């Protein structure tokens, strides 16, 4: 049967050695198996270095065959291409892994700063650290991890400033400024409401200066009283605001 099929289909896609094998194995394989070998030989013969998916499909098909049918398949072209295909597959895998981390970083960066948790950052960092060096080189936004950590520290200062904005208090304003000063340059950038703290501190400084000028003004009773009233009025206005 096999011999007759081979005679009908010819030697296309088969090496001389495989033609001989078909003749010697004609009693061991079926027509369907012979067709499988012929079709696979044809697919393999057309492979190029750009046919990554087809190469993998042929390789998987070949490995799924019995040893008897494998003996009829010429894998010379596959072996010639294997190193280049493996490099291409690695490149695709690297890009896929890096893309997943880039997406995770972008997603975490979109989380509202007040909802951001340490666990969110840990998850992304663990995913990044699991990459190979080649894959890490493809993550162009890896600095986002440091930015996320900066946000987490900055939010403490942001909340302090928001509280002071509602109820201005010099002691708390000084504490907020100390906390801000302790941040790194990258963390300070994340404090989006620092201008509010700066304005509040300037107001308190102006009030302090006004009070100081009032206490060192005219030595006559009238002058002292007027200066004192101005200072008290400024403080009352600030408190009311």
Residues 6+ apart with CB under 8 A from 15: 74, 76
pLDDT, tens digit (0-9, with 9 covering 90-100), for 154-212: 999 999 999 999 988 899 999 999 999 999 998 999 999 999 999 999 999 888 888 87
> ∠161-164-166 over CA atoms, to 5°?
115
DSSP states of 193-238: THHHHHHHHHHHHHHHHHHHHHHTS-SSHHHHHHHHHHHHHHHHHH
Long-range contacts of 65-71 (CB under 8 A, 24+ apart): 65/36, 65/37, 65/40, 66/33, 68/25, 68/28, 68/29, 68/33, 69/29, 69/33, 69/36, 69/37, 71/18, 71/21, 71/25
DSSP state at residue 119: H
Neighbours of 141 (CB within 10 A): 13
pLDDT at 217: 52
pLDDT, tens digit (0-9, with 9 covering 90-100), for 169-179: 899 999 999 99
pLDDT at 11: 53
**Greater pLDDT, 89 or 226:** 89
DSSP states of 18-52: HHHHHHHHTTTS-HHHHHHHHHHHHHHHT--TT-H
Residues 6+ apart with CB under 8 A from 195: none
pLDDT at 171: 93
Distance, in Å, from the CA atom of 190 to the CA atom of 169, rounded to the nearest integer, reads 23
When pLDDT is cut at 50, 70 and 90, the band that residue 138 belongs to is: very high
CA distances (Å), origin 168, targets 56, 62, 164, 192, 199: 68, 77, 5, 18, 11
pLDDT, tens digit (0-9, with 9 covering 90-100), for 91-114: 999 999 999 999 999 999 999 988
Q: Average the pLDDT over 73-90 and give the result.
A: 93
Distance, in Å, from the CA atom of 212 to the CA atom of 217, rounded to the nearest integer, reads 9
Q: Average the pLDDT over 117-133 and give the result.
A: 95
pTM: 0.59
Closest CA to 183 of 146, 157, 215: 157
Phi first, then psi: what are they for 71, rounded to 5°? -65, -20
pLDDT at 181: 94
pLDDT at 24: 62
Tokens of 80: 């010639």
pLDDT at 124: 95
When pLDDT is cut at 50, 70 and 90, the band that residue 4 belongs to is: very low
When pLDDT is cut at 50, 70 and 90, the band that residue 213 belongs to is: confident
pLDDT, tens digit (0-9, with 9 covering 90-100), for 17-60: 666 666 665 556 677 888 888 999 999 999 999 999 999 999 99
Tokens of 168: 């201005």
Tokens of 11: 């030697």
Is the confidence at residue 3, as pLDDT, over 60?
no
**Greater pLDDT, 135 or 241:** 135
């Amino acid at each position: 049967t096999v011999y007759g099929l081979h005679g009908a289909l010819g030697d296309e896609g088969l090496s001389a050695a495989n033609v001989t094998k078909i003749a010697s194995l004609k009693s061991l394989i079926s027509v369907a198996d012979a067709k499988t070998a012929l079709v696979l030989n044809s697919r393999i013969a057309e492979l190029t270095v750009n046919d990554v998916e087809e190469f993998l499909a042929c390789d998987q098909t070949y490995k799924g065959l019995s040893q008897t049918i494998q003996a009829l398949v010429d894998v010379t072209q596959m072996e010639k291409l294997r190193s280049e295909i493996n490099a291409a597959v690695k490149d695709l895998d690297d890009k896929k892994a890096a893309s997943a981390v880039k997406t995770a970083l972008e997603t975490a960066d979109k989380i509202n700063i007040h909802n951001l948790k340490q666990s969110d950052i840990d998850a992304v960092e663990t995913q990044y650290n699991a990459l190979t060096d080649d894959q890490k080189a493809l993550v162009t936004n890896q600095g986002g991890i440091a930015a996320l950590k900066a946000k987490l520290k900055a939010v403490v200062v942001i909340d302090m400033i928001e509280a002071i904005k509602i109820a201005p208090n010099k002691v708390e304003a000084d504490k907020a400024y100390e906390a801000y000063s302790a941040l790194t340059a990258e963390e300070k950038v994340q404090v989006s409401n620092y201008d509010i703290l700066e304005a509040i501190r300037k107001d308190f400084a102006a009030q302090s200066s006004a009070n100081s000028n009032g206490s060192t003004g005219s030595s006559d009773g009238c002058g002292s009283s007027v200066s004192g009233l101005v200072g008290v009025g400024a403080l009352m206005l600030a408190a009311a605001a």
